[in-house]
Structure 1
């Protein structure tokens, strides 16, 4: 057993080492200016569920989490898609609670805009985002993570569109009534359900983006066959760097995404970026299970003690940039953006990208890799805005 004092010292040293490493990443004035002078869209930030679980006023500086208004301003973030996340629990999927929870979280986003109208505004279109940027306001766009709140009724699709939802992640960590999940070994539908296939068409017609993050490979290719508009992967990274991790996208999927005209928004979570982080998590889980099998009760500081002996292999900014590079090299600059998963991946964020104040570090990294200002702007928002506008135009005709 590790003494508490020893544990505290070890954790302190580890955090100090990490902090020192992050201090070596310094964005230039040009990178900071480019981040702030450009519309910067991040398609996946989990503020709604964070404040649903433990309310805090993100219109002001906060001491926890990855997002608040001052840090967003510092980082140049002005158009986050707030994730209306519905856990993949049976109580939500089967007992009709998804619809209620989704509406409550949308209410919480509207409350932020109403509480600080000088800082925030709800955005439901590309035009809103562009106009609010000119006004110096932070746009709150919304996406729904897990289509469970549709509850098998197309009327609910219209309802959530009217409430400002502009993309739906069809499933989350378990298969639902719409689609199989990449995490769920039970492939109930072998892709999309019959209702899910109808939903894709209706989402096209209404101007709702289809998000292929989280769904199974079979479901992904069925969406590709059905969708008449570009889709997004709102917070996914590449299987090239995480072999066997179906939650990420492989090269064949990227090629299909290019043909569709869609965009992959790179997830910053370390386990999405590097295989070492994913393996670490599996080993921790296995160790816990072994301890339980021996009849030993897990101590409250078990995870912290484990980290002391087995430091978490945080991804680096450079490794995140490698994901962007590979997309660009394989399918081109027009098909990649940012979907950080801030407030959604706990303390697993890469060194140099720890919260929403960190985007200039990413911009600096892109500059150091000889990306032009024009191409950086495409990554920050241009590609996502193109897809959003195409979905809006298609809906006008249908």
Structure 2
């Protein structure tokens, strides 16, 4: 029996996508494995029942350098202990590598990523999400650089001593604080990439005035598709990021991809709270959670793979292929991931969609990892001459 031409073409397309995934270096700017494992440790060197990342799925997807997010909740800015938590999460990542030296390796620079790729190992570079562990002392930047941190997201959900947050309407500093400007300069000197995901628009503008090195948005998308959502970058700031030589790494979370999803989500939350009040359910109770989960499944459809491609197309149309990458936020956005991109096994699905759109293999390799590695290498070069 002959294979229908359409099926044969789809099979050939996926075969090519899988081959590119195996051959190219795939860098994902943000994966929240450490915090996922903080209170519920499982061995990600083997297949896991939950989460979006483990070794078998990463191998299937061709993933080479997932930045492990050393995530520090904003609450630690008030309670203290941010630096200690960061050190403990770094210890965890080092432990994963020690437990599985045949699968994972640390990576403190671009050369390590390339060497690990050649050796068939998945690199686990480190990025710190929230600058709170700096704890007001520039010397802590050197400490965390020595521990392998290679980017720092300056703030998270609330303003901190470094920067205002896109999620916080307080506007504590009107952008970066004076200390935050010193932090950016010291990160440039040490060779730590400045990550402007989560910062306010004013803080982004201040970073652009201060930095001597290109910066990254490790897990942000295009505000064109989510009007009013400051967490994503507007077109003017994407253009400014490109002028700086930086890269925006597209976040897969449905709320980052679609205004429709944000609206549906907000309406669902209000409806669920109304029903809980009517039935006398406490938020967080089994009945509340069961109803909430089912209501979201029935009424809040996720984004899909094409929505991610739309964001990529938009950035490429604005500033070219050299300034876009992947920052999935796997293990960080819950079950809001788009259909077709539900875990780290799915990078070939994105590659196939890009091939269908007419992207060349050279351009796809840039997007998958070479753009991020170029920025990282330039940050290293600038630090070396400091």
Q: Considering the TM-score relative to the shorter chain, is it more than 0.5?
A: yes
Aligned counterpart, 2:19: 33
Aligned to 2:380: 392
1:67-216 to 2 correspondences below 5 Å: 67-89=53-75, 92-216=76-200
Residue in structure 1 matching 2:242, options 255, 258, 261? 258
Contact in 1 for aligned 2:268/2:296 (Cα 8 Å): no
The offset of 1:289, in angstroms, is 4.5
CA contact (8 A) 1:276 1:313 kept: no
Partner of 2:201: 217
Q: Partners of 1:202 and 1:158 in 2: how far apart?
A: 9
Specify whether residues 35 and 283 from structure 1 end up closer, same or farther in structure 2 by C-alpha distance, changes over 3 A only.
same
Structure 2 counterpart of 1:306: 295
Q: Distance in 2 between matches of 1:119 and 1:237?
A: 31
What's the offset of the Cα at 1:391?
0.3
Question: Residue deviations 1:30-84, cap 9 Å, x none?
Answer: 1001011111100100000001021000000001100000000000001110000
Mapped partners of 2:271, 2:85: distance in 1:
35
CA contact (8 A) 1:204 1:394 kept: yes
State the Cα deviation string for residues 248-273 of structure 1 (Å, max 9, x = none): 01100111111111000000111111
Quote the Cα distance in structure 1 between the aligned partners of 2:126 and 2:267: 35
Secondary structure of the equivalent of 1:365? Answer: helix
CA distance in 1, matches of 2:162, 2:212: 18
1:284 is displaced (CA, Å) by: 2.7
Which residue in the other structure is 2:47 paired with?
61
Question: Are the counterparts in 1 of residues 268 and 299 from structure 2 also a CA contact under 8 Å?
Answer: no
Deviations 1:84-138 (A, max 9, x none): 001111xx11332101110000000000100000111000000000001000000
Counterpart Cα distance in 2 of 1:42 and 1:304: 28
Cα shift at 1:281: 2.1
Q: CA deviation at 1:287?
A: 2.8
Q: Which of residues 264, 268, 275 is equivalent to 1:284?
A: 268
Which blocks of at least 5 consecutive residues in structure 1 are unaligned? 1-24
Once the two structures are TM-superposed, the CA of residue 302 in structure 1 deviates from its matched residue by 2.6
Aligned-pair CA distance for 1:288: 4.2
| TM-score, length basis structure 1 | 0.91
Question: Whole-Å Cα distance in 1 between the matches of residues 205 and 310 of structure 2?
Answer: 25
Q: Distance in 2 between matches of 1:279 and 1:77?
A: 33
Residue 333 (structure 2) aligns with: 345
Please give the alpha-carbon distance, in whole angstroms, between the structure 1 residues aligned to 2:123 and 2:294: 41
The equivalent residue for 1:238 is 222
> Across the two proteins, how many residue pairs are aligned to each other?
371
| Residues in 2 aligned to 1:318 and 1:173: alpha-carbon distance in whole angstroms | 28
| SS of equivalent residue, structure 2 residue 16 | helix
1:376 pairs with 2:364:
yes
Gaps of 5+ in 2: 1-9
Which digits, 9 at most, give the CA deviation of each residue in 1:164-218, with x for residues without a partner?
0000000101111111110011111111111111101111111100000000000
- The answer to whether the 8 Å contact 2:26/2:369 transfers is yes
Question: CA RMSD, aligned part only?
Answer: 1.4
The answer to whether the Cα contact below 8 Å between 1:231 and 1:261 also exists between their aligned partners in 2 is yes
- Counterpart residue number, 2:251: 267
**1:292 deviation in Å?**
6.3
1:94 aligns to what SS in structure 2? helix
Q: Taking structure 2 as the reference length, what is the TM-score of the superposition?
A: 0.94
Match of 2:322 in 1: 334
CA gap 1:292/1:175 in 2 versus in 1, 3 angstroms: farther
